[in-house]
């Protein structure tokens, strides 16, 4: 139980989906072996001794999530803390079977094979319950608490049933029951920082969905008009999905630029595919154009769709785009949906918008792979345009800001490896990069950027900017075999520090529940 809670929680918090599971699992197996060796000290174990080992294991399980939350609060991503929890759980769990086996030596029906069968069966059942029943809607904190209290209660009932429960046991069991409860409430305070880290923002919505932690905040800001204005910020797993102060510029670059590029080529796009974009903001921009007849939006998280469809604040910003009859919302994994529908939807869309979160782990990096792009672009009509959110724009190694980041460059080269023409451009306000791509060899980006005013000295460069002189560093393309993009992304975040994502000082509001 504890190993799954620890690995899942730390992985969700820090976006290393394979690394932490592998390291924690190795530590857990080592601890199981050490626990088995330590059990040799119990030559003739009693039921009470076994019960106390199980109760200690339940205590570790119950305080796992509060302990990890506090360790992250004070020490950040220090892998020693989850290793400590997993080691303690493994040592205790490694003692259970040998002790139980020794106790069962006098029972003919108790065999080593039967005991391991029971243990492995229980682990299998728990793994399924953890994934499909406990984690959603209970979340990590409540699951940890529930499992600890339930198992401790069963241990107490076992001693009572065997008439071995004494008054001395009452204190021990009371501590094991009360400590996880206290830890649960102590670690549950949520305070969100403002975007500029200058103070505290009001949380207007908080949910741990099956896929991510969703936080919507509201903060006051200076307004040139009537004093204090209001800014809303949507966070997904601690990363900014949109800020009401800058989202219009972002979606101008993401949605309007490919629409203008198609118009520049004398095309009249009417069908749009949006992969991601569950907030409905990109769809909003397309619905402003009367030539757009249908927008198909594929979003993984139904909680995000529900929020964007029903929450008054998001509805205000997306102008009820997801309720519009021209918008078809598909709740599905874009990777799977694209591969399942690419043949029947071949050439169906005039514009494709790819608006996924930053490729900070291997799961997300596959959505930026050459294989995924190849499948998705089969749905593009001849001469159509693609716009891709391409991560942070510039390298830290170039103080002049003329060298693109390895993240953006890898996405560019990945698309070009498929035979498409790809061009980088940025949203000037926060230097987020985009890639505009097309198979149309007659498209001249320099000419278009001047006509649209997004070249470096153009009038629109205050919002979106393209510069043909940007330098591309040496990078590898991103494929399903390499998934190199996640490495580039995490390296960039480490260089950026707390500017984009941090835990300390925010009372753990962005950590999974």
CA atoms within a 13 Å half-sphere pointing along the CA-CB vector of 14: 20
Q: Are 231 and 218 in contact (CB under 8 A)?
A: yes
Alpha-carbon distance 258 to 277, whole Å?
Answer: 16
Residue 120, exposed/middle/buried by CB under 10 A (0-12, 13-18, 19+)? exposed
Alpha-carbon distance 386 to 378, whole Å?
Answer: 11
User: Which of the residues 17, 256, 350, 355 is marked catalytic?
Assistant: 355
Closest listed residue to residue 427, CA positions, set 466, 459, 372, 397: 466
Task: Locate the DSSP E strands across 103-262.
Answer: 192-193, 200-208, 213-223, 227-236, 239-243
* Lateral strand order in the sheet of 239-243: 192-193, 200-208, 213-223, 227-236, 239-243
Is 355 assigned a catalytic role? yes
**C-alpha pair distances (Å), 15 with each of 76, 212, 370, 461, 508:** 13, 11, 22, 34, 16
Closest listed residue to residue 87, CA positions, set 2, 177, 185, 149: 2
Q: Residue 10: count other Cβ atoms within 10 Å of its Cβ.
A: 26
Q: Are strands 421-427 and 432-438 parallel, antiparallel or unpaired?
A: antiparallel
- Token representation of residue 457: 């000295």
Q: Residue 119: count other Cβ atoms within 10 Å of its Cβ.
A: 14
Contacts of 135 (CB under 8 A, 6+ apart): 8, 143, 210
Q: Are 15 and 212 in contact (CB under 8 A)?
A: no
For 174-186, what is the HEC assignment? Answer: HHHHHHHHHHHHH
Alpha-carbon distance 433 to 235, whole Å?
Answer: 19
Instruction: State the catalytic residues.
Output: 355
């Amino acid at each position: 139980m504890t190993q799954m809670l620890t690995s899942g929680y730390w992985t969700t918090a820090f976006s290393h989906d394979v690394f932490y599971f592998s390291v924690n699992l190795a530590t857990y197996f080592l601890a199981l072996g050490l626990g088995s060796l330590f059990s040799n000290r119990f030559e003739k174990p009693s039921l009470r001794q076994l019960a106390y080992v199980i109760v200690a294991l339940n205590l570790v399980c119950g305080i796992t999530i509060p302990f990890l939350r506090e360790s992250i609060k004070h020490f950040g991503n220090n892998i020693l803390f989850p290793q400590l929890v997993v080691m303690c759980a493994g040592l205790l769990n490694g003692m259970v079977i040998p002790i139980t086996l020794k106790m069962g030596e006098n029972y003919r029906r108790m065999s080593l094979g039967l005991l391991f069968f029971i243990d492995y069966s229980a682990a299998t059942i728990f793994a399924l319950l953890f994934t499909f029943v406990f984690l959603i809607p209970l979340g990590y904190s409540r699951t940890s608490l529930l499992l600890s209290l339930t198992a401790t209660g069963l241990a107490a009932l076992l001693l009572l049933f065997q008439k071995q429960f004494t008054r001395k046991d009452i204190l021990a069991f009371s501590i094991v029951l009360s400590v996880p409860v206290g830890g649960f409430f102590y670690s549950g305070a949520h305070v969100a920082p403002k975007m500029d880290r200058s103070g505290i923002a009001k949380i207007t919505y908080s949910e741990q969905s099956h896929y991510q932690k969703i936080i919507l905040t509201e903060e006051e800001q200076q307004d040139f008009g009537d004093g204090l204005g209001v800014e809303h910020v949507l966070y997904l797993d601690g990363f900014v999905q949109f800020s009401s102060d800058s989202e219009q510029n972002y979606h101008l670059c993401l949605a309007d630029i490919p629409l203008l590029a198609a118009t520049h080529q004398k095309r009249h796009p009417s069908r749009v595919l949006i992969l991601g974009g569950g907030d409905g903001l990109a769809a909003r921009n397309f619905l402003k154009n009367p030539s757009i007849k249908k927008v198909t939006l594929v979003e993984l998280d139904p909680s995000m769709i529900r929020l964007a469809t029903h929450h008054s604040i998001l509805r205000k910003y997306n102008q009820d785009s997801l309720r519009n009859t021209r918008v078809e919302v598909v709740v599905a994994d874009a990777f799977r949906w694209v591969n399942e529908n690419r043949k029947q939807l071949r050439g169906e869309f005039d514009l494709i918008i790819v608006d996924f979160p930053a490729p900070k782990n291997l799961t997300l990096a596959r959505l930026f792979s050459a294989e995924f792009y190849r499948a998705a672009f089969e749905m593009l009509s001849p001469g159509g345009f693609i716009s891709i959110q391409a991560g942070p724009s510039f390298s830290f190694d170039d103080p002049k800001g003329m060298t693109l980041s390895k993240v953006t460059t890898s996405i560019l080269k990945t698309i070009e490896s498929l035979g498409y023409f790809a061009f980088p451009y940025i949203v000037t306000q926060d230097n987020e990069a985009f890639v505009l791509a097309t198979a149309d060899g007659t498209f001249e980006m320099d000419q278009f950027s001047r006509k649209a005013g997004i070249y470096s000295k153009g009038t629109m460069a205050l919002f979106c900017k393209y510069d043909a002189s940007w330098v591309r560093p040496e990078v590898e393309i991103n494929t399903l075999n390499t998934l190199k993009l996640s490495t580039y992304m995490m390296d960039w975040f480490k260089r950026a520090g707390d500017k984009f994502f941090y835990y300390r000082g925010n009372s753990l509001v962005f950590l999974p529940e």
